[in-house]
Structure 1
Amino acid sequence: MADTVLSSAPRTAPRSPLARYAGRLAAATRGSRGQVRLAELPFLAQIDVRLDAKGAAADGVGLALGAPLALEPNTVVRAGAARVLWLGPDEWLVVGPAGSGRDLEHRIGAGGGEGHVSVTDVSAQRTTLLVSGPRARDLLAHGCALDLHPYAFGAGRCAQTTLARTQVVLVARDDPGAGFWVLVRSSFAGYLTEWLLDAATEYG
């Protein structure tokens, strides 16, 4: 009978896609004299939800989250500590605090009941950049074709778009002065961060 050896080596802590940029992001924030703030928000839970918005499952998922799913295109609904982003007529992205993915996935699945609901944890696909400060909109406008004026893209709006030719999900936070979330695929996160750091030198 073969012996089973259990490894006692400690598990290494997960490393975010932009961990090596933390110092440079902080330096850019300091150098801008408060005009822009750049930071990574690592490991946010991201749950992709697909269902019929007119079906009973949509109501059940809304009850499970504590807020109805956003039905107006490109809007965000606050659901406790999570945000529910409208991505399409039958698709939403639920973004929650780090470590909340399993709980959100369970609640959404249970809320959907017997309805046709697809629930997929996509947390590992993307990381999130925070871009805030008085010149945040100006900074993003350098590389984004959307009209980012507050009247067109104010608090509580979201969009799938491109920033510096990189596909992102852009979210205008609903907290005063909270700026924007830029959700970017991990494989493109370094490139986009380099672009943001370069563009931010204008405010230094």
Structure 2
Amino acid sequence: MAELYGESPLAAHADVFARASAPGSVRLSEVAFTAQVVLRVDPKGPAAERIGTALGVMLPNQAGQVAHTDRLTVLWLGPDEWLLVGPEGGAEPIEDALSEALDDEHGAVVDVSAHRTIIAVSGPSSRELLAKGCALDLHRRAFGPDQCAQTSLARAGVVLLCRDAELPSYWIFVRASFARYLADWLSDAAAEYREVVPHAASGRHG
């Protein structure tokens, strides 16, 4: 059985995120220890259909499309590449299911759980916050729920997933080596959304 990772890349940033979050405007947090598995396979081959049956959902076949089951999120990364995201400790079962369905066809299944962590950004100002460092059009009509994209955020390569366009809510998949840098950038960029609560004016009540 694969070992679980004892500390996330942003374990020391929980307080930073808490201070950077602005109630009613934007919230930052880490989604740590998710299982992440990259799949490469011919989408038109018989293995792709077997994989869809094994997972309970067919592999997305459109650019930036995302599919779901009760326990899995499947992100389209390229014409023959997907990222499967599941609960903590779920990488090995995902790998086993994919490898069995792949059988002897050409393809690859790689556990990348330790390579990336996820920063969650949500709240009414989250789209505006991300737009400060991302060139994508993040309007809900252009980048809505269950859409993903490989892009740059503050010059860091990320995978951006829109989870909810109304709130809105996003997941940012970032490599562990860039996680602290991006966390600090997001925290600094969120500074303007934090409400400054003035001290209560002192007065005498007669």
Does residue 27 in structure 1 map to residue 31 in structure 2? no
Alignment of 1:170 onto 2:156: no
**Counterparts of 1:71-86 in structure 2 under 5 Å?**
71-86=61-76
Please tell me whether the aligned partners of residues 127 and 189 of structure 1 are also in contact (alpha carbons under 8 angstroms): yes
Residues 181-204 of structure 1: CA deviation (Å, up to 9, x unaligned): 100000000000000000000101
User: Superposition RMSD on alpha carbons, in Å?
Assistant: 1.7
| Paired residues, number | 192
Distance 1:131 1:161 in 2: 16
Q: Which runs of 5 or more residues in structure 1 are unaligned?
A: 1-10
Matches within 5 A, 1:30-109: 32-109=22-99
CA distance in 2, matches of 1:155, 1:134: 15
- Aligned partner letter, 2:97: R
TM-score in terms of structure 2 length: 0.89
On the 8 A contact 1:171/1:181 being kept in 2, the answer is yes
Per-residue deviation at 1:115? 1.9
Verify the 8 A CA contact 2:4 2:89 in the aligned structure 1.
no
Distance 1:57 1:166, change over 3 A: same
Question: For residues 74 and 133 of structure 1, what CA distance do their matches in structure 2 show?
Answer: 22
SS state at 1:180 partner: strand
Residue 43 (structure 1) shift: 1.0
User: Structure 2: which 5+ runs fail to align?
Assistant: 195-206
Shift of 1:33: 2.3
1:108 CA displacement: 1.1
Equivalent residue for 1:181? Answer: 171
Q: What is the Cα deviation at residue 12 of structure 1?
A: 10
- 1:121-148 per-residue CA deviation (whole Å, 9 max, x = no partner) reads 0111100000011111111000000000
Query: Is the alpha carbon distance of 1:50 and 1:110 closer, same or farther for their aligned partners in structure 2, counting shifts above 3 Å?
Result: same
Name the TM-score, length of structure 1 as normaliser: 0.90
Which residue in the other structure is 2:110 paired with? 120
List structure 1 runs of 4+ shifted beyond 2 angstroms.
174-178
